[in-house]
A and B are shown apart, each in its own frame.
Chain A
Amino acid sequence: MAKKLPKVPVVVVGMGWAGGIIASELTKAGIKVVGLERGKERDMSDYLMVHDELRFQHREELMQDLSKETITHRNNQKMRALPMRNYGTFIVGEGLGGAGSHWNGQTYRFLPYDFEIKSLTETRYGKNKIKSDYPIQDWGITYDQIEPYYDTFEKMAGISGETVKLYGKRSNPYPTGPMIKTPVLAEFEQAAKKLGYKPYMIPSANLSENYENPDGISRSACQYCAFCENFGCEYGAKADPVVTVIPVAKKTGNLDLRTYSNVTRILNDGTKATGVIYVDTFTGEEFEQPAEVVVLASYVFNNVRLLLNSNLGIPYDPKTRNGVIGKNYCYQVSSGYSSLYYNDREFNIYGGAGALGIEIAEFTGDNFDHSDVNFLHGAGIRTTQYGNRPIANNNSPIGTPSWGAEFKKQSIKYANSILQVKSQGASMPHIQNYLDLDPTYKDVYGMPLLRMTYDYTAQDRELVKYMAKVTRSIAKKMGPDHIDTVAEQADFNVNTDTNTHNTGGVIMGADPKNSAVNTYLQMWDAENVFVAGSSAFPHNSSFNPTGTLGAFSYRAAEGIVKYLKKGGSLV
């Protein structure tokens, strides 16, 4: 029997960006919050010895311990789903700060087009442009309505960037100026300009300058130390819940943070939750934490899994297309890119930062005409400079063997002489791409694993081909000695694809029939349950998701405060 603890106003499951923001806003408002996090406690001093490529990138020190749980995957319903036994893609966060400790920090807003994608597409291209097997839908909120929350998130994190004309209107400029435009990025800039594009510096959570945020948190500027994505920042320059929202929540005295606490179920009667059950990951002891409000902020996968394992909400059924939990799982497509090899130029690409990069907006969203293409939305085309670490970066022209004398010669020759022009493309939902419970595999606590049924769609494959050409045209203008372009989207492979941006499964909308939560991320079927994170996105844009999930976390926090006062549906 689980040991029953005293009831609290709010219990938050998972302490990454989503959970951290909500905990910080609620505790600032004087509300007591219990934060349950399955992983380790963390603070900035944990990041002092992180310049270790092997430990943090290749042994995934900060990522979810797959021996406890993983996901299973199959490309389609005819296949048997099998567990992702090691990484792989989806390097899911674990521990205080979640993936926010080891993210890159590229912090975009989604486009006005994203929030009203169905209406705007149909207005411009007619009703038949969206094929019936793509359940693309409006989000139930407009860009203008979510804009103030983006602003709040960006000020909290101190996002560095420059205003882009083709994107949504900003109420304020970025709180800090853009990152340094290095000679590498200038190469892309010049080439893109020659083609008539207007490159801009990628908005960054790696601070371009020292910054104090509205909560009174001071952080220092990025040192371009090159151990950024997959690593924590020893300067606190990279915005991370551990150096921003969590200390603020702790300082209020209203946060009761419990690490090594893994939530297995949400207690509920089908219309309301009464609390959660969690396990002490060391002792195996079970606890019941009753609460007025339950906030799920356990990332896309566990947000969906916890609901399904708790019989809360109606599971999506791909045959009837009824149900909502697990629906519209989306990913991102980044297979269209060009690699540029230079024979006698070397760049200082051993240095860099997780969000150091330059990009063009012309091929995003509906910023170009889609009348004659078989896909919607688009991609950011960009060059980044993260810092090329040597185990991960052994590039040589296609056709070079992957080991032996020639491999060594070529990979060393180009170690400092390779640049890339990449694309990161939007991912549209498909009726056959969804999440449910695996019938066979379980986690170490005996709960069914999440099963992902997913493959790239025809739309994705078209998009990749198109964007690959764009990357090649810019690459050519950059004038390297050799260019390799990858233009084919292979089948989804759970162990080789590397994009970390999963979305959907508990999507927001205006209508309970086709969405699971409203735009405050409050569940239609259980008004005291809020489900935060990119699980709420009805589709995935071409941008990295965290700016948007951060904005919605602020909105959810506002909704929870209101709900605790008045109760009932917030819309």
Chain B
Amino acid sequence: MSDKEKSQIEKQGSTRRTFLKNSGLAVGGLILGGAVGSMFDRNSEIGVKTEQKSQTQANNPNEALMFFYPEEYQTTAAAAERIFPKDDLGPGAMELNAAIYIDHQLNSGWGVNEKDYKLGPYYKPEPTQGEQNRLYRKDLFRLGLKELNTYSNKNYKKKFTELEANEQDEVLAAFEKGKASSLSGASSSAFFQLLRTLTIEGVYADPLYGGNKEMLGWQMRKYPGSRMSYTKEIQSKEFLKLDPNSLQSHMKHS
């Protein structure tokens, strides 16, 4: 690891500590009324002004939970942030609302594998045969979140959200390798892959789905989103940076 990366992780770690202190989560035990409000206050981490925050919330009723319980949401937000962390390029998964996105996806037909083949029997697959897993995605994810905490408690005597960034990375790496306990028959790596996929989607899917907040995910990589025509741009030798458009801009002509 380069020094730069190290200092980045340290920086994130210390921001995290401040965040945890502010949100009252680090105290352990029962979370009391006062802490609950700040639990959803992702913005406290980046220090956005309160007026702005309350306005966003008023504008966006979509920023609420339909699947997760609050602690699950916290764990998801923290884990997603490690997959796609904030850095000098721009916001990470947490700020981009990837966890809101994940919450909504797991509550959709996709969360219950509606378009997957689900008839039995189930056998252990060879590596070339894809997942053969009875669990719904929503349940796999929920069990995975629980196991993140169990594993963290066992190895670090703390919940996942209380760990330093580098410790969280260690936990996630163990999951990636399938080293955590089996999740009702599914490997912890299946959970990790789901987390990774969902995080990337939550960062880059159309904001209509609840993530990619204010299209900042797209902006970071100079992706213009959904526009009607690129005939001019594809002919240009110079790189043309365009402001992103979301699918909402197509409602005009639908």
Closest chain B residue, CB of each to CB of A75: B128
Give CA–CA (A280, B125) in the complex, Å.
34
User: What residues of chain B lie closer than 8 Å to A12, measured between beta carbons?
Assistant: none
Give CA–CA (A492, B127) in the complex, Å.
10
Residues of chain B from 157 to 211 with CB closer than 8 A to chain A in the complex = 169, 172, 176, 196, 199-201, 204-206, 208-209
Contact B231 A79 (CB under 8 A): no
**Least Cβ distance of B89 to chain A in Å?**
6
User: What residues of chain B lie closer than 8 Å to A516, measured between beta carbons?
Assistant: none
Contact B250 A84 (CB under 8 A): no
Residues of chain B from 207 to 254 with CB closer than 8 A to chain A in the complex = 208-209, 217-218, 220-231, 233-237, 239-240, 247, 250-251, 253-254
User: What residues of chain B lie closer than 8 Å to A373, measured between beta carbons?
Assistant: none
User: What residues of chain A lie closer than 8 Å to B223, measured between beta carbons?
Assistant: 350, 390, 415
B54 close to A (CB within 8 Å): no
Contact B116 A409 (CB under 8 A): no
Give CA–CA (A409, B86) in the complex, Å.
10
Give CA–CA (A548, B84) in the complex, Å.
44
User: What residues of chain A lie closer than 8 Å to B21, measured between beta carbons?
Assistant: none
Give CA–CA (A67, B230) in the complex, Å.
37
Contact A225 B130 (CB under 8 A): no
**Least Cβ distance of A63 to chain B in Å?**
8
User: What residues of chain B lie closer than 8 Å to A415, measured between beta carbons?
Assistant: 221-223
**Least Cβ distance of A467 to chain B in Å?**
22
Contact A54 B115 (CB under 8 A): no
- Chain A 141-181 near chain B by CB (<8 Å), digits 1 or 0: 00000000000000000000000000000000000000010
Contact A391 B5 (CB under 8 A): no
A347 close to B (CB within 8 Å): yes
A1 close to B (CB within 8 Å): no
B132 close to A (CB within 8 Å): yes
A535 close to B (CB within 8 Å): no
B40 close to A (CB within 8 Å): no
| Stretch in A263-271, A308-316, A398-406 touching the partner | A398-406
Give CA–CA (A394, B200) in the complex, Å.
9
Contact A350 B224 (CB under 8 A): yes
Interface size class for chain B? 35 or more
User: What residues of chain B lie closer than 8 Å to A180, measured between beta carbons?
Assistant: 231, 234-235
Interface centre among B114, B126, B133 (most CB of A within 10 A): B126
From B89, B132, B227, B239, A408 is in contact (CB under 8 Å) with B89
A351 close to B (CB within 8 Å): yes
Contact A223 B229 (CB under 8 A): yes
Interface size class for chain A? 35 or more
- Chain A 177-198 near chain B by CB (<8 Å), digits 1 or 0: 0001011100000000000000
A334 close to B (CB within 8 Å): no
User: What residues of chain B lie closer than 8 Å to A222, measured between beta carbons?
Assistant: 231
**Least Cβ distance of B84 to chain A in Å?**
5
Give CA–CA (A105, B39) in the complex, Å.
49
**Least Cβ distance of A70 to chain B in Å?**
4
**Least Cβ distance of A207 to chain B in Å?**
12
B69 close to A (CB within 8 Å): no
Question: A59-B110, A182-B235 are contacts. A494–B128 as well, Cβ < 8 Å?
Answer: yes
- Contacts A85-B113, A86-B131, A412-B220 known; list 9 others, CB within 8 Å: A67-B113, A80-B123, A83-B117, A86-B116, A86-B130, A224-B230, A224-B234, A346-B222, A441-B119
Top-8 shortest CB links A-B = A351-B230, A51-B226, A495-B130, A223-B229, A346-B239, A415-B221, A390-B204, A54-B205
22 pairs, A vs B, C-beta closer than 8 Å: A51-B226, A51-B227, A58-B201, A59-B110, A66-B115, A67-B116, A223-B229, A223-B230, A224-B231, A225-B227, A348-B230, A348-B236, A350-B222, A350-B230, A351-B231, A390-B218, A391-B205, A404-B169, A408-B92, A415-B222, A493-B128, A493-B129
A residues with CB within 8 A of B: 48-49, 51-54, 58-60, 65-67, 69-70, 73-75, 79-80, 82-86, 88, 180, 182-184, 222-227, 346-348, 350-352, 356, 385, 387, 390-391, 394, 402-409, 411-412, 415-416, 440-442, 444, 491-495
